[in-house]
Chains A and B, each alone.
Chain A
Amino acid sequence: MGRKKKKQSKPWCWYCNREFEDEKILIQHQKAKHFKCHICHKKLYTGPGLSIHCMQVHKEAIDKVPNSLPNRSNIEIEIYGMEGIPAADLKEHERQKQGAQDSDDDEPMPKRPKPEGLLGTAPGTMPNPGLVPGLMQPAVHPGMPPGMPMGPMIGPMGHIGPPFMPPGMHMMPPHLAMMQAQASPAKPLFPSAVPVSSPGAPVVGADFKPITSGSPTTKPTFPAYTGATISAPPTTNNSMPSSSSTSSGENGKVATIATTGAASKIIHPVEDISLEEIRARQSRYQKSIPTKEDDVTASTSSAASDQLALAVSAAQQAVVNQAKQDALNHAAMLQRFQRPAGPPMMAMPGGPVTSMPLVMRPAMIPGPPTFVGANLMRPPPLGMPPGLIGMPPGVVYGAPVLPGGPMLTPMMQPRFR
């Protein structure tokens, strides 16, 4: 293999052990990968340069070179291309390459883009931090440099083990190396998914995924969101544990959430009620809550009258509270009928005239907040909007949609109690 002979002289990046066809590309790589400011994306020239920039411009201290191998993260060492690499590392790298020459694989590596959102995975997650310096990390590692072989290479590499370079690493055609050096850092999906201060925790969850059913024709850049559809039952196929949340109301029990899946756990109590409701049940908040079970009664009554209601209903509690509730409702009803009819509020953006606040600075303008942007409201078009449920096709937009009964004016709002 004639190509192999060139390997010895290839420039390589001290921070991530990648090799390049040309020192110019290596420098491009270092600027884009290792010397780029995570805040303003300015490309600096050296590690110390980046450190000084971040301190002076952003008041942030950086203690590691981004995207570097754990033992090569020193920000103090001034390395530019191949200049400045410690002699010991240079020697070690040469030695590794000699050893790797024995491995026989001249297949050019298929280029796979590095999974985005993993930029700068903190060094703590490296699987083998104790590897010999200068050695390539296994390709399966999320923090690997872009362009490392994946897929078919994973197998063989697993067997080869530390003494060998992964075969094919030196065989990367120049144009591929070029592409990586130039293209891949240029378009990170999550450019700011830079290391945060928690080494050991990989940056997860940055995968935006479109809802496929809602957008069958769009060509998403991201993998399809397998689960929820616009009005699908919550039991659609999904690797996540299924929730019984929507079945509440039909059965009389408190709905629960399957919080524990095979490889995941939702950090939430199993009851499908809000964290605030759960917290409110604590005894220290109980002492003076006047009508705690109103909700139960309300849901029972509205479920009878209104198929919308999906709330938890507890019949026995409802009975207990019925008398109290009736009285309350009666009072509430009377109160309501004493209120003025007509449109609830007139548009009066000026609001009440308020005197200049004593506690505020004189420069402040009292008055309601102004919303940014023009009034964009327009009526939705006729027809069946995909997001609407409970509105049969053909219903003229604007008709009362709430099936609970005639909701003509606020005053007339029925409650069916």
Chain B
Amino acid sequence: MLIKSQTEYKLKSPPEDAISSVKFGPNTNQFLLVSSWDGSVRLYDVMANTLRHKYSHDNPVLDCCFTDAVHSYSGGLDNTLKSLDFNTTTETSVGTHNNAIRCVEYCSEVNGILTGSWDHHLKLWDPRTPMCSGNYNQGDKVYTMSVCGEKLVVGTAGRKILVWDIRNMSYTLQKRESNLKYQTRAIRCFPNKQGFVLSSIEGRVAVEYLDTSPEVQKKKYAFKCHRIKEDGLERIYPVNAISFHPTHNTFATGGSDGYVNIWDGFNKKRLCQFHQYHTSVTSLSFSHNGSVLAIACSYFLEEETLPNPMPEDAIYIRTVTDQETKPKA
């Protein structure tokens, strides 16, 4: 029913392999950081629709983040955390893990970079003196993590969730098992810091609260999504990406079904669904003011039989309105 229109466009000169992560800059809609399996991290000017800068790792890059408007950090299968100063275009190898770095997050409250790795560890890095200032066992491979103020929520293999206080990493604040039965795919924290949203490979999303009091815990719930029924067979897709709207506390989810949904987690409502993208949605990022959503699409080998031809890797920039992202009062 909806026809594609000016609300959305595709970025030119996209990565040459699957896109692992897209992140908007901290205080502008203009810059988007993109990490890819082609081993590169790219900085796009999405307003001009141009590639502004690009730097490389030796191996596929699994995640990237901005620490401020002019510095990015990235890590991937080469186990190395790299940083780049966009002003001077100086690349720095900050440090390494013993296995691939899966997640790179920035915590502004302590001004630290956090990396989660398949070596079961989380490392904390100080951007002023690029060195590791802490190494913390997570008990299993880190699959996803999200910073929520001074708290950090880590999702690992084996469906474990760990909550840390980044100011005092000497002990784990909370240890939980995922409420979802299947492998944790993504975790993102509510901007209001009350809780987090967790998605699994089995088309399901849980809304969780950090406060452990029973009254608050009563509010948690999970729901099914990113499923397509065809000829009596329900195809259940991994929910790969979550991104919160920075002010409305609503969130977008992206699945391997190629759909992007926007949800109002507090009122248990879906606010909208975009058209189906040509392949799996692997990463989503709202811009700092929530007016633009970046949507990364790459086929991610979910099925044994590869599609032919392979879907292209693409990043869509979509302007979103309050009607699509604001809770309906």
Which residue of B87, B109, B170, B208 is within 8 Å of A359 (Cβ)? B87
A375–chain B nearest beta-carbon distance, Å: 6
Q: Once bound together, how far apart are the Cα atoms of A365 and B28, in whole Å?
A: 9
Collect the chain A residues with CB atoms within 8 Å of residue B6's CB.
59
Chain A 343-364 interface mask (CB, 8 Å, partner B; 1/0): 1111111111011011111001
Q: Does A401 belong to the interface (CB within 8 Å)? A: yes
Of all chain B residues, the one with the shortest Cβ separation from A230 is B179
A302 touches B201 (CB 8 A): no
A262–chain B nearest beta-carbon distance, Å: 9
Q: Does A306 belong to the interface (CB within 8 Å)? A: yes
Q: Does B214 belong to the interface (CB within 8 Å)? A: yes
Of all chain A residues, the one with the shortest Cβ separation from B304 is A269
Known: A264-B236, A359-B86. A288 touches B137 (CB 8 A): no
Which residue of B67, B133, B176, B256 is within 8 Å of A368 (Cβ)? B67
Q: Once bound together, how far apart are the Cα atoms of A407 and B172, in whole Å?
A: 9
B169 touches A344 (CB 8 A): yes
B166–chain A nearest beta-carbon distance, Å: 8
Known: A196-B1, A357-B87, A386-B217. A410 touches B133 (CB 8 A): yes
Q: Give chain B's interface secondary structure class.
A: loop
B150 touches A377 (CB 8 A): yes
Collect the chain B residues with CB atoms within 8 Å of residue A274's CB.
102, 141, 143, 157, 183, 185
Of A1-9, A150-158, A243-251, the one with at least 4 CB within 8 A of chain B: A243-251
A214 touches B273 (CB 8 A): no
A336 touches B135 (CB 8 A): yes
Known: A211-B220, A218-B218, A249-B158. A332 touches B140 (CB 8 A): no
Q: Does B251 belong to the interface (CB within 8 Å)? A: no
B26 touches A191 (CB 8 A): no
Q: Once bound together, how far apart are the Cα atoms of A177 and B53, in whole Å?
A: 62
A10–chain B nearest beta-carbon distance, Å: 30
A267 touches B69 (CB 8 A): no
B213 touches A276 (CB 8 A): no
Collect the chain A residues with CB atoms within 8 Å of residue B300's CB.
275, 279
Interface positions, chain A 305-345, Cβ under 8 Å from B, are 306, 308-312, 328, 332, 336, 339-340, 343-345
B226 touches A205 (CB 8 A): yes
Q: Does A381 belong to the interface (CB within 8 Å)? A: yes
A401 touches B139 (CB 8 A): no
Which residue of A245, A351, A376 is within 8 Å of B194 (Cβ)? A376
Q: Once bound together, how far apart are the Cα atoms of A346 and B223, in whole Å?
A: 39
Interface positions, chain A 256-310, Cβ under 8 Å from B, are 257, 263-269, 272-280, 285, 288-292, 294-295, 298-299, 302, 306, 308-310
B323 touches A198 (CB 8 A): no
Q: Once bound together, how far apart are the Cα atoms of A213 and B220, in whole Å?
A: 10
Q: Does B12 belong to the interface (CB within 8 Å)? A: no
Interface positions, chain A 387-417, Cβ under 8 Å from B, are 387-391, 398-402, 404, 407-410, 413, 415
Q: Does A217 belong to the interface (CB within 8 Å)? A: yes
Which residue of B166, B170, B214, B237 is within 8 Å of A407 (Cβ)? B170
A5–chain B nearest beta-carbon distance, Å: 40
Collect the chain B residues with CB atoms within 8 Å of residue A191's CB.
269, 328
Collect the chain B residues with CB atoms within 8 Å of residue A410's CB.
124, 133-136, 169-170
Known: A285-B77, A311-B141. A196 touches B273 (CB 8 A): yes
B67 touches A351 (CB 8 A): yes
Chain A CB within 10 Å, residue with most, of B27, B143, B169, B177? B177
A407 touches B179 (CB 8 A): no
A246 touches B158 (CB 8 A): yes
Q: Does A76 belong to the interface (CB within 8 Å)? A: no
A291 touches B79 (CB 8 A): yes
Known: A265-B236, A291-B99. A371 touches B109 (CB 8 A): yes
Known: A205-B227, A265-B236, A328-B98. A214 touches B217 (CB 8 A): yes
B212 touches A61 (CB 8 A): no
Which residue of B127, B173, B176 is within 8 Å of A389 (Cβ)? B176
Chain A 365-382 interface mask (CB, 8 Å, partner B; 1/0): 111111111011110110
Of all chain A residues, the one with the shortest Cβ separation from B256 is A267
B212 touches A388 (CB 8 A): yes
A214 touches B218 (CB 8 A): yes
Collect the chain B residues with CB atoms within 8 Å of residue A62's CB.
1-2
Chain B 309-329 interface mask (CB, 8 Å, partner A; 1/0): 000000000000101100010
A298 touches B99 (CB 8 A): yes
Q: Once bound together, how far apart are the Cα atoms of A402 and B217, in whole Å?
A: 22
Chain A 226-264 interface mask (CB, 8 Å, partner B; 1/0): 011111001000101011011011000000010000011
A59 touches B212 (CB 8 A): no
Q: Does A207 belong to the interface (CB within 8 Å)? A: yes
B232 touches A263 (CB 8 A): yes
A311 touches B158 (CB 8 A): yes
A246 touches B159 (CB 8 A): yes
Q: Does A36 belong to the interface (CB within 8 Å)? A: no
Of all chain B residues, the one with the shortest Cβ separation from A357 is B70
Collect the chain B residues with CB atoms within 8 Å of residue A194's CB.
1, 272
B140 touches A285 (CB 8 A): no
Q: Does A88 belong to the interface (CB within 8 Å)? A: no
A238 touches B120 (CB 8 A): no
Q: Does A40 belong to the interface (CB within 8 Å)? A: yes
A351 touches B302 (CB 8 A): no
Chain A 173-215 interface mask (CB, 8 Å, partner B; 1/0): 0000000000000000111111111110111111111110011
Which residue of B37, B102, B182, B276 is within 8 Å of A266 (Cβ)? B182
Q: Once bound together, how far apart are the Cα atoms of A64 and B1, in whole Å?
A: 6
Q: A209-B221, A272-B183 are in contact. List 18 more A-B contacts (CB 8 A).
A: A196-B259, A197-B2, A231-B177, A264-B235, A269-B301, A280-B60, A280-B77, A291-B79, A306-B139, A309-B139, A345-B112, A365-B69, A371-B108, A375-B149, A376-B194, A388-B174, A388-B175, A390-B175
Q: List 15 contacting pairs A-B, 8 Å CB cutoff, sorted by A.
A: A60-B7, A193-B270, A194-B272, A204-B234, A214-B218, A214-B221, A221-B268, A264-B236, A274-B157, A345-B133, A346-B110, A376-B192, A388-B175, A390-B175, A402-B137
3 closest A-B pairs by CB: A385-B212, A369-B26, A310-B158
Binding site for B on A (CB under 8 A): 39-41, 58-64, 66, 117, 120, 122, 189-199, 201-211, 214-215, 217-218, 220-222, 225, 227-231, 234, 238, 240, 242-243, 245-246, 248-249, 257, 263-269, 272-280, 285, 288-292, 294-295, 298-299, 302, 306, 308-312, 328, 332, 336, 339-340, 343-352, 354-355, 357-361, 364-373, 375-378, 380-381, 385-391, 398-402, 404, 407-410, 413, 415
